[in-house]
A and B are shown apart, each in its own frame.
Chain A
C-alpha cells in the first residue's frame, strides 16, 4: 500500500518540509524554554533580580541641608505604606544614636581605626541571616553583617591604595576588630565580628537586640523615627511608581533591574510571538505540502476509491505518510532546541547561576502542542481533499 504514494515526493521536498517543520518547532520551543528559564530565574529570591525587597528613604532636599524638614517615617506614613497594593510587610531600620568606632589591627604596626554607623532590621528582611545572628545582654562579641559591595570596595578600592592585602569573605569572617562605644557619659569596648554579607541591604547591620540595648545605654533620650524602611512586596512596577509618587527614593539599580526584567520578558515574549508566527508559517507550508502530496496522488487515490477503499481507510494510508514528517521534525527539534538552550544558558550561567538540565514541562507541552497543531491541520486538510476526490464526477 505504501508504494502507491511512494513516487509522489522527491527527497528534496522531504528535506525541505522536514527542515521547515523542524525550524518552526525550534523557533517556537527555544523561546518558550528560555522564557521558562527566565521566569524561574526572575522568581528566585536570591538571584540577580531581588525585587521583593525595596529599601526606601525620603528624598533629601535643601530644606534638610539647612536643618529643616524631617527625613523620618511617621507612624501614619508607615501605615500608608502598608496599605499600598502589593506590599506584604514593612520593616523599619533603627540606627545607632551613639558614637561608635571600629579598630582593626593588621599585624601590630598597621592599625585601621574608623568611625562606624550601625543599623538593625528584623531578621525576616535579611537575606540568609547567619546561624549565629543573635546578641544577648552581656555578650562580648557583636555579630555584624556588611554589604557584599563593601568587601569589593575594600578589596578593589581601599586595600590597594593603602598597600593592604585583599581578603576573601571567609577570611573577613575570621578577622577580629574592636568596637568602641561612647555616649551618655559612658564608654565600652566590645569585640566585633563579621558574621555574614548581605546582597540585599546596603548598610552595616547588627542584631536588633544589640542596637536596642546599646541605644538605651548610650543614648537613652533619643527615640527617633526610622529614616529608612524596607518593604517586602510582590513584584510590581506599579508599586515602585507609587513609591516614587510618595516622594520616596529606592535603589536605582533595583529599578533598573525591574526595567531589565521587563525588557527580558518583552524580548522573550516577542521571541515567542515570532516563534508562533514562524510556526503558523511552517504549518501553512506543511498544509501546502500535504495538499501537494494528495493532489499529486489524486488519480491514484481516486482509483483506490473505485477499488472500494473508503475515505477513512485512505485517510489512514495518506495520514501515516503525511504525519510522519512533523513527528520526525519534533524528534529532531526537541534535542536541537535543548542544545541551543544550553549554548545560550551556558553563556549566561555566570549571571543567572545554575539552570536545570531539563526545561520545564510547559515548553515541552508547547512543542507537543505545535506537533498536534501540525497533525490537526494536515488531517483536516487531507480529509477535505479526500472528500472532494471521492465525489462522483458530473
Chain B
C-alpha cells in the first residue's frame, strides 16, 4: 500500500497571497494509505489540479509528488501507465466517458484488462446505483447523473490502492449521492484502499477521515 506525499507544490497560476491560506499549496501534505480524505474548497482553488497532479494528468511544476517516496517526476510513461492500471483510479470531473459507446462498453474497456473485480460485482453495483437497466444505452443518451454513476462504476472496475474522485456527486440528488458514496466507501474498505474526494461543500456530506482545505 502506498502513501502519497504532495511536497511544497505551488501551481503557477496561484498568487502568493492565495497560497498562504491553503492546507495544500506550498506545504507538505501526506495522504496515508487506506485513508478516506475530503478535499474541500470553492471553485478555482485547485482541487482538481491536485488530483490531476497525483494521477499524472498534469505535470508537477515545482516541489514534488511522491508515491511511497518515489517521485512522479522520475516515472517513465510506462510506469505511469502501470500505476494507473493497478494502483490508482480516478473519477474525472468531466467524466471522460466515450459517448458513442454503451455504459457496459465503457466499463468493459477497463474491466477487460484485469477482470478484477468480476462482472457480477459490476452488475451488483449497477443494481445498487439504479443504472442496471441503462447499461446497454450509449452514454451520450444518459443524463449527467446517470453518466456520473457509470463513471464511478468504471473507476471501481480495476484493482487500485487509491481512488481519486473529482466532485463525483455534483449532478446527483442527496439520496443517490449517499448511495454512491456508501458504495465507494465499502469498496475502498474491502480493498484497504485510500480515497481522495474533492467537493465544493465546506462541510462534506459524506464521512471522511480528514478534510483538507485547498
From the candidates A303, A390, A391, name the one contacting B96 in the complex (CB within 8 A): A303
A3 to B105, alpha carbons, bound, how many Å?
Answer: 10
Q: Is A310 in contact with chain B by the CB < 8 A criterion?
A: yes
Residues from chain A with a CB closer than 8 A to the CB of B56 are 392
18 more CB-based (< 8 A) A-B contacts, given A3-B100, A307-B154: A3-B101, A305-B81, A306-B55, A306-B57, A306-B90, A307-B84, A308-B82, A309-B113, A310-B78, A312-B78, A387-B77, A390-B81, A391-B59, A391-B77, A392-B58, A393-B57, A394-B58, A394-B59
CB pair A308–B59 under 8 Å, yes or no, is: no
From the candidates B55, B80, B101, B113, name the one contacting A4 in the complex (CB within 8 A): B101
Residues from chain A with a CB closer than 8 A to the CB of B109 are 1, 4, 304, 307
From the candidates B58, B82, B98, name the one contacting A310 in the complex (CB within 8 A): B82
Residues from chain A with a CB closer than 8 A to the CB of B78 are 310-312
Say how far B133's CB is from chain A's closest CB, in angstroms.
22
A391 to B72, alpha carbons, bound, how many Å?
Answer: 13
Shortest Cβ distance from A312 into B: residue: B78
Q: Is A300 in contact with chain B by the CB < 8 A criterion?
A: yes
Residues from chain B with a CB closer than 8 A to the CB of A1 are 109
Give the top 5 A-B pairs by smallest Cβ distance, nearest first: A308-B85, A310-B81, A308-B84, A392-B59, A303-B96
Q: Is B92 in contact with chain A by the CB < 8 A criterion?
A: yes
Q: Which of B94-108 contact A (CB under 8 A)?
A: 96, 98, 100-101, 105
Say how far A316's CB is from chain B's closest CB, in angstroms.
13
Q: CB within 8 Å of B: which residues of A?
A: 1, 3-4, 7, 300, 303-312, 387, 390-394
CB pair A393–B77 under 8 Å, yes or no, is: no
What is the 8 Å Cβ interface bit string for chain B, positions 39-61, against chain A (1 contact, 0 not)? 00000000000000001111101
CB pair B77–A303 under 8 Å, yes or no, is: no
CB pair B59–A393 under 8 Å, yes or no, is: yes
A121 to B61, alpha carbons, bound, how many Å?
Answer: 92
Q: Is B148 in contact with chain A by the CB < 8 A criterion?
A: no
A309 to B81, alpha carbons, bound, how many Å?
Answer: 6
